[in-house]
């Protein structure tokens, strides 16, 4: 499966196989709290999979399992052919995670943030690194920000820099944690367009954790909805326009009821 989807390197004509992700009976406990409950999921190479769900439903924890920042309490996550919990998987598969707050290195300029990965892995000469970094900044329309520090950037620019930094890694798998949170609607739409464009142009597998219904219904190939640690549904955006599951329907199309507010029900 993986060989028929090739990621196209944004910096050269070379191609590498896009990778799929498989979760088998994945469970995660933090003390007595079970955050993920026997998740079974297959994400195909080259697809955009959007993971939605209420706050605290375990979306970001699932993302951390895929990238190897968390270890399952039971079950297994496989990236390509490799166990995600194995540290060597990060050497075999190029994965890039765009963190919710960007996680940019505050002591480095935007240019140095992007150059860190190729420098540390000695992927090119300084001239080659400069070319890669400037190309990534150009793709995200950030050329003027190269010399700035993260603290000098707006929220939307920080997200774009985080995506550009991920792009420099020439990833086979891109993961986004709430890429449109705290952004105005126009900037949120811009970020959604960037994610879809990167998928179309470079064929990377993209997994997006988001609360953004517009993003999910417009750019996703499939959407998964996590409810209380379980995958309540996995469906295409078209199927989700009229979901059978009442909880999913309520999550996607919540009605504002001023006569019987939800928070009153939550309090009792």
1, 9, 81, 121: which one contacts other proteins (CB under 8 A)?
121
What CA–CA distance (Å, rounded) separates 246 from 190?
31
99, 181, 213, 234: which one contacts other proteins (CB under 8 A)?
99
Determine contact, residues 156/186, Cβ cutoff 8 Å. no
Q: Look at strands 95-98 and 173-177 and give their pairing.
A: parallel
Least Cβ distance, residue 99 to other proteins (angstroms) = 5
Is 262 near other proteins (CB under 8 A)? no
- DSSP label at 2? G
- Closest to other proteins by CB, 55 vs 107, is 107
Is 96 near other proteins (CB under 8 A)? yes
Least Cβ distance, residue 105 to other proteins (angstroms) = 6
Please name every residue paired with 24 in a beta bridge, in sequence order, or none if there are none.
Answer: 76
Q: How far is CA 246 from CA 79, 225, 243, 253, 267, in A?
A: 32, 13, 7, 10, 22
Least Cβ distance, residue 255 to other proteins (angstroms) = 34
Determine contact, residues 114/136, Cβ cutoff 8 Å. yes
Determine contact, residues 231/37, Cβ cutoff 8 Å. no
105, 135, 227, 234: which one contacts other proteins (CB under 8 A)?
105
Determine contact, residues 254/246, Cβ cutoff 8 Å. no
Is 103 near other proteins (CB under 8 A)? yes
Nearest of 209, 129, 211, 142 to residue 170 by alpha carbon:
129
- Closest to other proteins by CB, 95 vs 223, is 95
Is 90 near other proteins (CB under 8 A)? yes
Q: How far is CA 263 from CA 50, 56, 257, in A?
A: 27, 17, 11
Site string for other proteins, 53-72 (x = CB under 8 A): --------------xxx---
Strands, E assignment, 110-180: 173-177
- Closest to other proteins by CB, 89 vs 252, is 89
Site string for other proteins, 167-186 (x = CB under 8 A): --x-----------------
The contact set with other proteins (CB under 8 A) reads 67-69, 90-91, 95-97, 99, 101, 103-107, 116-117, 120-121, 169
């Amino acid at each position: 499966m993986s060989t028929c989807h090739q990621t196209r390197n944004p910096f050269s004509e070379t191609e590498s196989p896009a990778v799929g992700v498989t979760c088998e009976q994945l469970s995660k406990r933090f003390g007595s709290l079970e955050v993920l409950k026997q998740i079974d999921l297959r994400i195909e190479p080259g697809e955009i999979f959007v993971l939605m769900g209420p706050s605290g439903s375990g979306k970001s924890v699932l993302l951390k399992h895929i990238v190897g920042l968390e270890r399952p309490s039971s079950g297994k996550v496989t990236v390509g052919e490799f166990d995600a919990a194995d540290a060597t998987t990060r050497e075999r598969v190029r994965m890039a995670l765009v963190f919710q707050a960007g996680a940019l290195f505050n002591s480095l300029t935007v240019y140095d943030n992007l150059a860190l990965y190729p420098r540390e892995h000695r992927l090119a000469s300084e001239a080659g690194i400069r070319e890669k970094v400037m190309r990534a900044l150009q793709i995200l329309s950030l050329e003027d920000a190269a010399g700035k520090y993260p603290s000098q950037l707006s929220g939307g620019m920080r997200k774009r820099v985080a995506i550009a930094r991920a792009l420099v890694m020439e990833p086979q798998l891109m993961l986004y944690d709430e890429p449109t949170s705290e952004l105005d609607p126009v900037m949120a739409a811009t970020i959604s367009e960037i994610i879809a464009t990167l998928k179309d142009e470079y064929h990377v597998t993209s997994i997006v954790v988001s609360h953004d219904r517009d993003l999910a219904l417009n750019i996703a190939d499939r959407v998964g909805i996590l409810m209380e640690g379980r995958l309540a549904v996995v469906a295409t955006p078209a199927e989700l326009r009229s979901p059978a599951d009442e909880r999913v329907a309520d999550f996607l199309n919540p009605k504002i009821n001023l006569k019987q507010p939800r928070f009153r029900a939550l309090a009792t």
